[in-house]
Chain A
Amino acid sequence: MEKFEKVTSAAVPLPIEDIDTDQIIPARFLKATSRDGFGDNLFRDWRFNKDDSPKEDFALNDDKYSGEILVAGRNFGCGSSREHAAWSLYDYGFKVVVSSFFADIFKGNALNNGLLPVQVSEPFLQELIEAIHQNPSTEISVDLVAQNITFNGKSEAFDVNPYKKECMLNGYDDIDYLVNIKEEIEAFEASRTVY
């Protein structure tokens, strides 16, 4: 996993609520056996017509919007547990997703892949979307060390689990930690009654 400290960039707005992981990456693109290349099919059915031509009114196809930050409506990433959703966002080039609410499994998957979910208040989200609509090159800064997000002089703090923060800052995975405590896991197994 790559280290994450701070991202400053413009953002792509997607102010739809309840964006599920089937929209982020439809099931028919889950047939790969590696983690690579999922960005090509990110938001496939919102992004492309049936003949593979881009849908011009979709934000990712709109030249005015760019950057490493996706700003989306509440309950982002609901539905399937497919980690491919996080892989496809990251592979496309996003490093941060901002929303007023995230689905649990998606949030965990994102953190395990160096993609930072930033949960902000609903009013802050609406102001941010409004600012991007008014000026698509609005610069947004997401600072993991300080745990805040800033644009146009407005700032809001966000929560992140302290352990996951350490992992993101240092590029560590849970698996590194768990493998290191194998003896404790074995001792736990030996101590319990199993029916």
Chain B
Amino acid sequence: MAKTLFDKVWDSHVVKSLEGGQDVLYIDRHLIHEVTSPQAFAELEKRGLPLFRKDQMVATPDHNVPTKDQHLPIQEALSRQQVDKLIENCEKHNVELYGLGHPFQGIVHVIGPELGITQPGRTMVCGDSHTSTHGAFGAIAFGIGTSQVAQVMATQCLLQSKPKTMRIIIDGELKKGVLAKDIILYIISKLTAAGGTGYFIEYAGSAIRSLSMEARMTICNMSIEMGARGGMIAPDQITYDYIKGREFAPQGEKFEEAVAYWETLKTDEGATFDQEYVFPAQDIEAMITYGTNPGMGIKLNGNIPGLIEASNKESFSKSLKYMGFEPGESLLGKPIDYVFIGSCTNSRIEDLRIVADYVRGKKKALNVNAMIVPGSKQVEKQAKAEGIDKVLEEAGFELREPGCSACLGMNEDKVPAGAYCVSTSNRNFEGRQGPGARTLLASPLVAAVTAIEGKIVDINEYLN
């Protein structure tokens, strides 16, 4: 029978199926970080259970870490305790840890792929909803809660109902200045923040195939923002070339064997999906969000919808009131206070290159505080090797050290109440970047242009 990519990977990991529709799903790799793991370690200890497969786990601190002076002890007491707890737990249970100062440390969803841990056909989980990022390689990857973190620690398995499948096809050639972030913001604006709930998504079509791995990761990363458990893209030569030679990638003959298997990980001709959408690439333009969920996005030069178009007027009005915007208005010309370039959505080397290419020889606007946080130590190192740090510095940007940073403001990197921030991160929820902070999600290119102009502009007028 013709199978989807999702079915192939899922079915090959089912240990057994229970009556009532739950599957016992085997998990190949488990990533952990300091925020959602301490209670799971405690649960195991309480029950007297050992780690079942510690060699299939990798840990790194990312959510809480400062992005300045990482060589010094963490100032904030609670953050330090949580990071120390991760170190203590990893030492006690012999889990591989890339702690602060380690050349592999970084945002968990940036380091998995760059170390070659993320591979096609694998199942991967992490106590973080953006685990969907890893699906860019043709893996089934999804976020889990802490009780499930404990389950995977104890048994390397999860009880899961098999999600429905959805395919989103983007065909054709993308317009100039339209990046992966615009594609995913466009899709979410069409499907809404709940439109993918209950589904696992496969992204396909010629526009998707043309994207780099970094861009594919940006798209899969935000699958959760429409409620989907995960997103996947079938592996191809671009995938294999990215993985080859990485730290934990198969080497030599083993790599060739793996590629032969990965080649089978495609949706078969005739396989059916529970839901399918097709969008022409030509329809997609540079995007920005105006509200307090990622589905509230418009073309940069478009208008905020009117109240009459809102499905729930009370929620829509509450959202716009928080943002300080009026229904029906344009965002062009709105002054911006902060620009944040970073997060597991857009902090990879390609993102930094896009920003550096645009800001080279320019200066950021005086009213803008521009922060750029690389996704990992390896990204930081590469950026320095390419002289990106100098370009950014000359343009008035601050290049920080790796971590989740102002995406969720668990460390000191916060946006003040009432301030506007154009951010390359994934969530514009109320208070996400700090209590009262107002977030507008956009691509790294839109963020770079905004930083230079100090206000929201139609980037088409700025691209030569």
Q: Considering residues B79, B157, B417, which has the most beta carbons from chain A within 10 angstroms of its beta carbon?
A: B157
Bound-complex Cα distance A73 to B318 (A)? 13
Q: Hey, what's the 0/1 contact readout for B118-131 against A, CB within 8 Å counting as 1?
A: 01010000011100
In the complex, the answer to whether B314 meets A185 with C-beta atoms within 8 Å is: no
In the complex, the answer to whether A22 meets B432 with C-beta atoms within 8 Å is: yes
Are A83 and B147 also in contact (CB < 8 A) when A75-B197, A104-B198, A181-B16 are?
yes
B295 closest partner in A (C-beta): A18
In the complex, the answer to whether A192 meets B12 with C-beta atoms within 8 Å is: yes
**B residues near A174, Cβ cutoff 8 Å:** 147-148, 151, 158-159
Are A175 and B155 also in contact (CB < 8 A) when A184-B15, A189-B26 are?
yes
In the complex, the answer to whether B129 meets A79 with C-beta atoms within 8 Å is: yes
User: How many of B's residues come within 8 Å of A, CB to CB?
Assistant: 79
Other-chain contact of A78, B36, B85, B227 (Cβ < 8 Å): B227
- Assess whether B429 is interfacial by the CB under 8 Å rule: yes
Bound-complex Cα distance A83 to B149 (A)? 10
In the complex, the answer to whether B197 meets A104 with C-beta atoms within 8 Å is: yes
In the complex, the answer to whether A83 meets B26 with C-beta atoms within 8 Å is: no
Bound-complex Cα distance A33 to B432 (A)? 21
B198 closest partner in A (C-beta): A104
- Assess whether B305 is interfacial by the CB under 8 Å rule: no
- Assess whether A136 is interfacial by the CB under 8 Å rule: no
Other-chain contact of B194, A27, A84, A101 (Cβ < 8 Å): A101
- Assess whether A15 is interfacial by the CB under 8 Å rule: yes
B37 closest partner in A (C-beta): A33
Bound-complex Cα distance A66 to B22 (A)? 35
- Assess whether B99 is interfacial by the CB under 8 Å rule: no
Bound-complex Cα distance A45 to B432 (A)? 11
Are A18 and B315 also in contact (CB < 8 A) when A78-B293, A105-B143 are?
yes
Bound-complex Cα distance A184 to B16 (A)? 8
Q: Considering residues A45, A86, A105, A109, which has the most beta carbons from chain B within 10 angstroms of its beta carbon?
A: A105
- Assess whether B168 is interfacial by the CB under 8 Å rule: no
Bound-complex Cα distance A189 to B155 (A)? 11
Interface residues of A (CB under 8 A from B): 15-18, 20, 22-23, 26-28, 30-35, 45, 50, 73-75, 78-84, 86, 101-105, 108-109, 112-113, 161-163, 173-175, 177-179, 181-182, 184-185, 188-189, 192, 194-195
A-B contact pairs, 28 of them (CB 8 A): A17-B315, A18-B293, A27-B432, A28-B410, A31-B410, A34-B42, A35-B39, A75-B194, A78-B193, A78-B197, A79-B429, A80-B128, A81-B36, A83-B39, A83-B127, A103-B194, A103-B197, A104-B227, A105-B129, A161-B22, A161-B161, A174-B159, A175-B154, A178-B151, A178-B158, A181-B15, A189-B156, A195-B121
